[in-house]
Amino acid sequence: MISFPKAKINIGLRVVEKRTDGFHNIETIFYPVALSDALEFVVQQGKAKEDELVITGMDINTRPDKNLVTRAVKRLRLKYQVPPLKIHLHKAIPAGAGLGGGSSDASYMIRSINKCFRLDMTDDEMMEAALDMGSDCPFFLNPIPSSGSGRGEILKPVDAVLEGYYIVLLNPGFIISTKEAYHNCIPAKRSKRLEELFKEPVKTWKKTIVNDFEDFVFKVYPVVGELKRSLYRSGAVYSSMTGSGSTVYGLYSDKPSIKGKLRDYLIYEGLI
């Protein structure tokens, strides 16, 4: 079975408060983009007892047994009989880039195994398994534009207001620790919910919708802030870092001309 796990961007990311379980409550808008990995698996032949994972494409510097795809399979085996699998993961979404690549791979694996082996998992059961893999994994079980709250697992569909917009993704080539980003972010509640701001015209987002991690990341990794400023200079209607970084995206009304050194950082462009 083959699937194509999508990437996502965050339109705004607010760290609201730290929870007693060590996680944080957030507000964000998850929005899928067409950049995707490719994930394929077949049942192992012969007497194989272990899963085999081959990773091609981008180097994500992760041991196969630590990859979220194989962890997702092991999570399902706690309750369901899943035979040893031969898995091929082709990576086009960089790791640690705020695009949810690993989370998407894990969730698509859960969804595909449920379908392939007719496990008849309920939506709640898939949600529980996905959440064990990561806070943004539940979004990728049904990756449609959604507001996310709680850890990110409380999802509510929102209007696909970016249809027809062009997106540019720039990545500086390094990983930013999510743990470090949260450690250096001061939680705060706001009077107006992010979902309300999202409903305003896209051209107003520059002044109203922010990613709380940007202050820390831009100070420690100034190139990320410069990429955001460069996207605005190239005509972006809205630009932001996604997740805890390090990818920055720009939204455009029309296809822009990305020239010069910016092209060295370009990992994806196209209609959203």
Catalytic residues: 8, 136
CB 271 within 8 A of CB 166: yes
Q: Evaluate the CA torsion angle 158, 161, 163, 167 in order and state its sign.
A: negative
Per the CB < 8 A criterion, the answer to whether 139 and 28 are in contact is no
Please write down the long-range contacts of 265-269, taking CB distance under 8 Å and 24 or more positions apart.
265/170, 265/171, 265/172, 265/173, 265/227, 266/168, 266/169, 266/170, 267/35, 267/94, 267/169, 267/170, 267/171, 268/7, 268/33, 268/34, 268/35, 268/167, 268/168, 268/169, 269/166, 269/167, 269/168, 269/169
**Angle at the Cα of 205 from the Cα atoms of 172 and 241, rounded to 5 degrees:** 15
**Using CA atoms, how far apart are residues 114 and 33, in angstroms rounded to an integer?**
24
Quote the DSSP letter at residue 144.
Answer: S
b/e map 126-149, b = 16+ CB within 10 Å:
bbebbbebbbbbbbbbebebbbbb
Q: By the 8 A CB rule, do 47 and 220 touch? A: no
Residue 44: strand, helix, or coil: coil
Partners of residue 193 on adjacent β-strands: none
- Report whether the peptide linkage leading into residue 246 is cis, meaning its omega lies within 30 degrees of zero: yes
